[in-house]
C-alpha cells in the first residue's frame, strides 16, 4: 500500500513539473537570415533557456552584434536568453569589452516587424540573461532592433511610391555586389541650381542599428505634411542613405574597426568602400555647385551614454565661421530634442587624440573638403536606455528634422564668404 502511494505521489509530482511546458516543442535556434549572428552554446529544453555568443568575424568588425530566431515555443511560456560576451576579441587579438554586446534591455519580436524591449537583464562575468514571456510559437532576439538591407529597400521604395517628390535610387553596388538603397526628396526640379542640399546617412558601423531607425524617423518626418517639413522641402533637396555598410549588416558582422579600416575611417583620397567613394563624389559635386549646406552622419555611442550628443569640429579644422554655424545648428536641435531623449550638453570632438585616422572620418572630411558654410556633424543616439527602441529612435529622428528646419530658416550660404 505504501509503495502504491509513493508511486502515485511521484506521478502527481511529475505531472506538476511537466505542466508548465505541456505542449511545448523542442527549442531550436537559427541565425540563417540577413543580419543573423549567433553561436549556440547551450539549449536547455527542460529549463526553456538558451545561451549564445555573438558570432561575428573580428576581421569584419567588432563582434558585438547578435540576432537569432527561436522556434518551438509554447505560446505564453517564459523563455530565458543568455548572451556570453566574455570572449569577444578585436581583429588585432585584443579583448573587446563585453559592455558593447550587452544592453540592459535587449530587443525581441514575434514577427520581425514590431520590436519590443525585454525586461532589464541580469549581468554576471561578461554575460547577461533576459527572461521574456512569449505569446507566440516563435520569437526573434537581438542586441537592438534590427534594420537590415531589406528594410532599407522597402523604406525607400515605399516613400517613393507614396510621395511624388521622392525618388528611390541605388547609391552604388558594394564590393560584394549588394545594392545600397538611397532616396532623394526634391520638391521642384526646375530650381535645382539654387536649392540647398542636405545629406543624412546611417550605419557606417553595421552593428549600430539605432542609426537607421533614427534615419527612418527623420526621413518619414521630412516627407510628411508637418508644416516645418513642407517649408524645408520648398528650399532644400534631401538625400538619405539608410545603411552605408550594407555588406556587414547583411552578414551579421559588426563593421566597426574592420580590416583594413571601417567605413567611417575611409574618407580619403583612395576610399576602400564603394558607398563612401560614391558619397564623397556626390557631396563634392553638390559643394562645387554651392548647394551643400549640411551633412549628418548617424551613429550609436558607447553603453554608458544615456543621451544623444553631437561630435563637433575639432580645433584643428575649426574656423570662426564654421564654429558659428555649427553652434547655431546644435542650438536649433537642442530646442527640439528634449523628450524622451534630451540632447546632451556634452559635445566632444574627433581630433588627432580621438583616432589616428581622424582626418578620414566622414564629418571631418566634409569639414576640410567643402566650403565654410557647410556643417558636417555626427549624431550619436544612445542605445542603452529604456527609450532605445524603434519609437524612441524615430522620435529622435523627427526632432532632428525639426532642428534642421529651424536651423535652415536662414540660408547659411548667405552668412559666409
| Pair 162, 75 in one domain | no
201 vs 414, residue with greater confidence = 201
Would you state the pLDDT for residue 366?
A: 98
Q: Given a cut of 90, is residue 406 above it in pLDDT?
A: yes
What average pLDDT does this structure show over 231-236?
97
Does 226 lie in the same domain as 162? yes
The pLDDT value given to residue 12: 37
Mean per-residue pLDDT, 133-140: 98
Q: What is the mean pLDDT of residues 122-145?
A: 98
Residue 255 lies in a domain: yes
The pLDDT of residue 415: 74
In whole angstroms, what is the distance from residue 341 CA to residue 273 CA?
33
Q: Are 289 and 156 within one domain?
A: yes
Confidence of residue 188 (pLDDT cuts 50, 70, 90): confident
Question: Number of folded domains in the chain?
Answer: 2
Section 199-228 average pLDDT: 98
Beta bridge partners of 37: 67
| pLDDT of amino acid 5 | 41
Choose among 299, 308, 318: nearest CA to 362.
Answer: 299
Q: Are residues 312 and 375 in the same domain?
A: yes
d(Cα 209, Cα 147) in Å, to the nearest integer?
A: 6
pLDDT computed for residue 23 by the predictor: 59
The mean pLDDT value for 364-386 works out to 98
* Residues above pLDDT 90, as percent of the chain: 91
pLDDT band, residue 187 (cuts 50/70/90): confident
Domain end among 142, 159, 188 = 142
* Tens-digit pLDDT profile for residues 339-352: 999 999 999 999 99
Same domain for 190 and 218?
yes
Asked if residue 241 and residue 317 are part of one domain, the reply reads yes
Alpha helix segments (H runs only) across 19-108: none
179 half-sphere exposure, CB direction, 13 A CA radius: 13
Q: Is residue 17 part of a domain?
A: no
Predicted pLDDT at 14:
36
Say if 12 falls within a structural domain: no
Distance, CA of 312 to CA of 344 (rounded, Å): 13
What does 320-380 look like in DSSP terms, one character per residue? HHHHHHHHHHHHHHHHH--SSSPPPS---B-STTT-TTGGGSHHHHHHHHS-TT-EEEEEE
- Closest by Cα among 48, 40, 45, 36 to 79: 48
Tell me which of 36-50, 182-196, 239-253, 354-368 is least confident: 182-196
Looking at the structure, do residues 234 and 357 belong to the same domain, yes or no?
yes
Q: Is the pLDDT of residue 236 over 80?
A: yes
Q: Return d(Cα 273, Cα 266) in angstroms, integer.
A: 7
- Percent of the chain at pLDDT exceeding 70: 93
Whether residue 346 lies inside any domain: the answer is yes
Mean pLDDT, residues 346-360 taken together: 97
Residue span of the structural domain in which 97 resides:
23-142
User: At 52, which CATH number?
Assistant: 2.60.40.3120
Q: What is the pLDDT of residue 15?
A: 36
Q: Which phi and psi (to 5°) does residue 285 adopt?
A: -65, -45
pLDDT at 410 over 80: yes
CA 301 remoteness from chain centre: 10
**pLDDT at position 143, please?**
98
Query: Quick one: average pLDDT of 370-383?
Result: 98
Kindly give, in sequence order, each residue whose CB lies less than 8 Å from that of residue 25, ignoring residues fewer than 6 positions away: 71, 72, 73, 74, 137
User: 277 and 303: one domain?
Assistant: yes
Average pLDDT of the chain is 94
Q: Do residues 296 and 180 both lie within one domain?
A: yes
Chain CA centroid to CA 278, Å: 21
Tell me the longest C-alpha to C-alpha distance in the chain: 102
Domain limit, last residue, from 142, 171, 201? 142
- 13 in a domain, yes or no? no
15 within domain boundaries: no
Indicate whether 16 belongs to any domain. no
State yes or no: pLDDT of 313 exceeds 80: yes
Which residues sit opposite 297 in a β-bridge? 201, 378
136 and 153 inside one domain: no
* 177 and 95 belong to one structural domain: no
Q: Are residues 373 and 272 in the same domain?
A: yes
Domain of 254, CATH number, reads 3.40.630.10
Please compute, for residue 300, the number of CA atoms within 13 A of its CA located in the half-sphere on the CB side.
31
Domain membership of residue 14 (yes or no) is no
Domain-ending residue, one of 121, 142, 163? 142
Amino acid at each position: 500500500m505504501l509503495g502504491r502511494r509513493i508511486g502515485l505521489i511521484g506521478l502527481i509530482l511529475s505531472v506538476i513539473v511537466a505542466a508548465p511546458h505541456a505542449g511545448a516543442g523542442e527549442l531550436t535556434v537559427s541565425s540563417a537570415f540577413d543580419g543573423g549572428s549567433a553561436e549556440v552554446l547551450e539549449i536547455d529544453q527542460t529549463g526553456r533557456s538558451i545561451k549564445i555568443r555573438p558570432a561575428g568575424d573580428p576581421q569584419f568588425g567588432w563582434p558585438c552584434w547578435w540576432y537569432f530566431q527561436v522556434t518551438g515555443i509554447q505560446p505564453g511560456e517564459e523563455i530565458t536568453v543568455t548572451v556570453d560576451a566574455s570572449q569577444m576579441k578585436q581583429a588585432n587579438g585584443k579583448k573587446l569589452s563585453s559592455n558593447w554586446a550587452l544592453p540592459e534591455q535587449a530587443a525581441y519580436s514575434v514577427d520581425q516587424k514590431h520590436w519590443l524591449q525585454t525586461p532589464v537583464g541580469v549581468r554576471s562575468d561578461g554575460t547577461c540573461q533576459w527572461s521574456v514571456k512569449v505569446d507566440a510559437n516563435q520569437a526573434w532576439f537581438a542586441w537592438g532592433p534590427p534594420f537590415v538591407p531589406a528594410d532599407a529597400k522597402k523604406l525607400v521604395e515605399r516613400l517613393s511610391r507614396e510621395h511624388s517628390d521622392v525618388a528611390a535610387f541605388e547609391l552604388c553596388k558594394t564590393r560584394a555586389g549588394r545594392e545600397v538603397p538611397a532616396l532623394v526628396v526634391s520638391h521642384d526640379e526646375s530650381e535645382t541650381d539654387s536649392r540647398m542640399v542636405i545629406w543624412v546617412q546611417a550605419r557606417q558601423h553595421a552593428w549600430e542599428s539605432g542609426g537607421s531607425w533614427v534615419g527612418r524617423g527623420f526621413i518619414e518626418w521630412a516627407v510628411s505634411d508637418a508644416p516645418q517639413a513642407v517649408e524645408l522641402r520648398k528650399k532644400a533637396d534631401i538625400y538619405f542613405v539608410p545603411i552605408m555598410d550594407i555588406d556587414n549588416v547583411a552578414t551579421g558582422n559588426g563593421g566597426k574597426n574592420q580590416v583594413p579600416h571601417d567605413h567611417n575611417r575611409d574618407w580619403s583620397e583612395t576610399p576602400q568602400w564603394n558607398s563612401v567613394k560614391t558619397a564623397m563624389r556626390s557631396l563634392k559635386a553638390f559643394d562645387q555647385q554651392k548647394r551643400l549646406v549640411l551633412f549628418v552622419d548617424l551613429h550609436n555611442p558607447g553603453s554608458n551614454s544615456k543621451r544623444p550628443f553631437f561630435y563637433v569640429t575639432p580645433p584643428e579644422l575649426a574656423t570662426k565661421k564654421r564654429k558659428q554655424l555649427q553652434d547655431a545648428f546644435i542650438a536649433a536641435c537642442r530646442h527640439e530634442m528634449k523628450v524622451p531623449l534630451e540632447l546632451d550638453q556634452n559635445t566632444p570632438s574627433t581630433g588627432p587624440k580621438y583616432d589616428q585616422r581622424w582626418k578620414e572620418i566622414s564629418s571631418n572630411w566634409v569639414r576640410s573638403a567643402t566650403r565654410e558654410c557647410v556643417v558636417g556633424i555626427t549624431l550619436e543616439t544612445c542605445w542603452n536606455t529604456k527609450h532605445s527602441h524603434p519609437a524612441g529612435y524615430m522620435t529622435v529622428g523627427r526632432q532632428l528634422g525639426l532642428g534642421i528646419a529651424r536651423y535652415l530658416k536662414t540660408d547659411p550660404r548667405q552668412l559666409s564668404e
